[in-house]
Amino acid sequence: MPLRRLMVFVALLACASGDEYTRRGADTLFGRRGAHVWVRGPWLEVEPSRDVDQVIDQLCPAIMKLPRATAGHYGQEYCGAIYTLGDGVYYASHGSPLGKTTGVIGAEKRKSCIPPSSVVDSRGRTVTLADYHSHPWSPSPMSVFDFQNRTQVWLIRIQFDVACTVMKYVPHKNTPRPGEVYVRRERHWRLVGLLESERDKELGIVTPVEGGT
């Protein structure tokens, strides 16, 4: 089989696997309300905790079990949320693959999913703290699009790649305080960058912090 035909065949198989998860989860674990995406929680793969960092530390291993989460060019991003019911306990939602469709052949390494606007939990009203999303390759830190003000929905953004390198962005949107970029190292957050001005926040321009790597 010619190489290009083989690549297309493999891509179709990968897409079929991802579509199965989408079909099973659509309008059950995640769905759309107009231009917005909702997700359901709690996700039993992630143990709830009063320490939000303990929830964050479980996200990457759980997401990497989902279809095509580690498939690189043929991969799938997943978006979800970290939330509470007002009881001081943090929960993770299921991961949603809903987003803009992107091609899988060529050098393009940008995938996308839509950060959820709301969480549905049958136990009560939810309060969302953070959104999270995965990148299906490594190394893959947050992109300029991940930092831009227009993409910020909640107080915190969490991102991780297939090596489970976890990043946190605190945008401080609509305040004069700089946006803060952290990397998770040995169960601690290390400040690695700042978005120092409103213009930097709008454009997604990060200034590295000395000694932050």
Q: Give the start-to-end residue ranges of the domains of the chain.
A: 3-208
Using CA atoms, how far apart are residues 36 and 120, in angstroms rounded to an integer?
13
Alpha helices by DSSP H, the chain: 3-25, 52-63, 144-147, 198-203
Using CA atoms, how far apart are residues 10 and 125, in angstroms rounded to an integer?
43
Band the pLDDT of 7: cuts 50, 70, 90: very low
What average pLDDT score do residues 5-29 get? 63
Give the pLDDT confidence score for residue 184 in this predicted structure. Answer: 98
Whether omega before 42 lies within 30 degrees of 0, making that bond cis, reads yes
Q: What is the pLDDT of residues 61-116, one digit of tens each?
A: 999 999 999 999 889 999 999 999 999 999 999 999 999 755 555 545 567 899 99
Query: Whole-model pTM?
Result: 0.87
Q: Is the pLDDT of residue 15 over 80?
A: no
Give the pLDDT confidence score for residue 13 in this predicted structure. Answer: 42
Cβ-contact 52, 90 below 8 angstroms:
yes
Give the pLDDT confidence score for residue 10 in this predicted structure. Answer: 40
